[in-house]
């Protein structure tokens, strides 16, 4: 998955579940200006 300029974990009403789904991905690329919860 490729995310650009969007903090999916912080912006979602159910951030914990999104974080769980993202941790199960084989590849996650996050492009942004600053470090975010999604990039961790």
Classify residue 36: in a domain, yes or no.
Answer: no
Classify residue 37: in a domain, yes or no.
Answer: no
pLDDT at 20: 93
d(CA 26, CA 22): 9
pLDDT tens digits along 1-40: 998 888 888 888 998 999 899 999 999 998 887 787 777 7
Classify residue 40: in a domain, yes or no.
Answer: no
* Pair of tokens at residue 10: 């912080």
d(CA 17, CA 32): 22
**Residue 6 belongs to what domain range?**
2-31
Number of independent structural domains in the chain: 1
Classify residue 7: in a domain, yes or no.
Answer: yes
pLDDT at 21: 93
Classify residue 10: in a domain, yes or no.
Answer: yes
Classify residue 17: in a domain, yes or no.
Answer: yes
Classify residue 27: in a domain, yes or no.
Answer: yes
Classify residue 20: in a domain, yes or no.
Answer: yes
């Amino acid at each position: 998955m490729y995310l650009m300029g969007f903090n999916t974990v912080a912006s979602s009403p159910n951030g914990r579940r999104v974080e769980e789904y993202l941790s199960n991905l084989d590849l996650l690329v996050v492009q942004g200006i600053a470090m975010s919860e999604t990039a961790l």
